[in-house]
Amino acid sequence: MAELSESKKKLADEFFILGTTSDGRQFRPSDWAERLCGVMSCFRPEGSGGRNAHLQFSPYVRPTMLDGVKAVVVNNDLQKLEPLAYHFVLNFAKDNDLQIVNACFLPLPGDPKI
C-alpha cells in the first residue's frame, strides 16, 4: 500500500472555519478572516520569522476562499505549538456559530491509488 507523502499528510491535518453560520448566513464583518489571521500572525515555526515576519500571516492560521466563501485554514500543529491560541481560534468559531469542516486529502486524477 502506498504511503502519503509528508506534504499530503500536512494537508490532511487541517480544518477550515467557513464564513457562514450554521443556518447558512454570511458572517460579518466581511474582513473577519483577515482580522482573525492577523491576530494569530505571531504564531509561527521557530526560525521562520525574518525581517518582514510582522507583515505575514502565520502558516498555522491563514485566510482563504472556498467556493466564494471566506474561510480560515487552521493547521492542527498550532495545538502543539500553543494550545491557548488553538483554543482561541476554535472558540471564536463556536462563539460566532461558524461552520468548522475538517480537511482531508483527496487524490488528484492520475495519482496512484492508496
Q: pLDDT under 70 in the chain at which residues? A: 1-12, 44-55, 104-114
Which pLDDT value is given to residue 87? 96
Which pLDDT value is given to residue 12? 62
Which pLDDT value is given to residue 17? 96
Which pLDDT value is given to residue 71? 96
Take residue 21 and report the three cell numbers written for it.
453560520
Contact status, residue 113 vs residue 1, Cβ threshold 8 Å: no
Which pLDDT value is given to residue 13? 87
Count of CB atoms within 10 A of residue 87's CB? 13
Cα 21 to Cα 17: distance, rounded to the nearest angstrom: 10
Single-letter amino acid, residue 95? D
